[in-house]
């Protein structure tokens, strides 16, 4: 079983719609959870971090965490073509290690 | 610019040559990480430093790879006798351990893209 799992996509949504990206993780002791956006050929850019159960909103982005279900999600409201990228879920174990998923490719169709 | 910087951004080398990459982390960050990323994959952990001490190295990392972080500031990653399979994006990231409660945010540099011919 992979430690952090994401659907590779592509996830295609029309412009203006809500994009929903999901991630599951295997280590119940994980403490911190992050979403990165990565454009083709570029490095990952941190867009959201979440540490406790529930929702955290930042602009058009909402991160959701459910530790009991070992599930993290990212919602992007009013999706724009510029949101088209790969979104990486990362989990911090609490020691030193960050485990990354393979990413979900999002396509926002104009 | 107070972000993570890496140099060079691109490196093309011939098989068998040695290459060295440099990373300058965010100045107040005490942890520095090296990752490798290939197409369609997430960043793969290579090694990390807490201040100047290299505390963990991936078992996947061959003896051809070595990293240093003298004085706990910048870091270098050297690959000796490069192979075509070493072609990848090499990413450096830094974080502050022991900062604000729950804050272990990790920030990446722009990466060094290595092509081994």
- Segment A15-46, tens digit of pLDDT: 999 999 999 999 998 989 999 999 999 999 99
Cα–Cα distance measured from residue B64 to residue B105, given in angstroms and rounded to the nearest whole number:
30
B116: Cβ–Cβ under 8 A, 6 or more apart, which residues? B13, B14, B15, B82, B83, B84, B85, B86, B87
A57-92 pLDDT per residue, tens: 999 999 999 999 999 999 999 999 999 999 999 999
Q: Is A102 on the interface with B (CB under 8 A)?
A: yes
List, for residues B35-62, the tens digit of each pLDDT value. Answer: 999 999 999 999 999 988 988 889 878 8
- Predicted pLDDT at B71: 85
pLDDT of A1 higher than 90: no
Cβ pair A45:B50 closer than 8 A: no
* Percent of chain B surpassing pLDDT 90: 74
Nearest Cα to Cα of residue B20 among B83, B107, B72, B90 = B90
Mean pLDDT of chain B: 92
Are A101 and A4 a contacting pair, CB within 8 Å?
A: yes
Among the ranges given (A28-32, A50-54, B91-95), the one the predictor scored with the smallest mean pLDDT: A28-32
Residue showing tokens 């003896």: B63
Is the pLDDT score of B88 beyond 80? yes
Residue B1 clears pLDDT 60, i.e. is over it: no
Q: Which helix (H) or strand (E) holds B55?
A: strand B53-57
Label the pairing between strands B88-95 and A85-92.
Answer: unpaired
Q: Inter-chain contact A43–B48, Cβ cutoff 8 Å?
A: no
Distance CA A90, CA A72 (A): 10
A53 in reach of chain B (CB within 8 A) = no
Collapsing DSSP states into helix, strand and coil, what is residue A68? Answer: coil
Question: Alpha carbon of B54 to those of A14, A103, B34, B69, B75: distances in Å?
Answer: 46, 28, 11, 8, 10
Residues B5-11: what's their mean pLDDT? 98
């Amino acid at each position: 079983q992979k430690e952090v799992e994401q659907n590779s996509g592509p996830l295609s949504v029309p412009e203006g719609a809500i994009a929903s990206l999901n991630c599951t993780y295997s280590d119940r002791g994980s403490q911190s959870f992050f979403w990165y956006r990565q454009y083709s050929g570029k490095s990952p850019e941190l867009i959201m971090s979440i540490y406790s159960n529930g929702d955290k909103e930042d602009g058009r982005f909402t991160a959701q965490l459910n530790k009991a279900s070992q599930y993290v999600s990212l919602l992007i409201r009013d999706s724009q073509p510029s949101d088209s990228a790969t979104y990486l879920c990362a989990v911090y174990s609490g020691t030193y290690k960050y485990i990354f998923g393979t990413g979900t490719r999002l396509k926002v169709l104009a | 610019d107070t972000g993570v910087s890496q140099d060079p951004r691109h490196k093309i080398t011939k098989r068998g040559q040695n290459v060295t990459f440099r990373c300058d982390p965010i100045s107040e960050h005490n942890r520095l990480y090296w990752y490798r990323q290939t197409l369609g994959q997430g960043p793969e952990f290579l090694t990390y430093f807490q201040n100047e001490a290299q505390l963990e190295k991936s078992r996947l990392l061959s003896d051809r790879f070595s990293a240093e972080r003298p004085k706990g500031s910048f870091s270098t990653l050297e690959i000796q006798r490069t192979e075509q399979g070493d072609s990848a994006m090499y990413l450096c990231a830094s974080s502050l351990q022991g900062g604000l409660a729950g804050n272990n945010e990790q920030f990446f540099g722009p990466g060094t893209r290595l092509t081994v011919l």
